[in-house]
Amino acid sequence: MTTIAALSDSHTASLSTLPIGLRRALEHADIIVHAGDETESTVLEELKSLGQVIAVAGNMDSTALKLTLPTRVVFAAGNHTIGVTHGSGAPSGIQHRVRALFPEQPDVIVYGHSHAAYVGTLDGSLMVNPGPATTSYALITIKRDVAARIVEL
Q: How far apart are CA 47 and CA 13, in angstroms?
A: 12
The domain tally of the chain equals 1
Task: Tell me the backbone φ, ψ of residue 68, rounded to 5 degrees.
Answer: -95, -40
Model confidence pLDDT, tens digit, residues 95-123: 999 999 999 999 999 999 999 999 999 99
The per-residue pLDDT for 36 is 98
pTM for the whole thing?
A: 0.98
Give 41's pLDDT tier (boundaries 50, 70, 90): very high
Q: What is the secondary structure of 65-103 as a DSSP string?
A: HHHHS-SEEEEEETTEEEEEE---S-STTHHHHHHTT-T
pLDDT for 76:
97
Report the chain's mean pLDDT, rounded to a whole number. 97
Q: Which domain holds residue 75?
A: 2-152
Q: What is the CATH number of the domain that holds 105?
A: 3.60.21.10
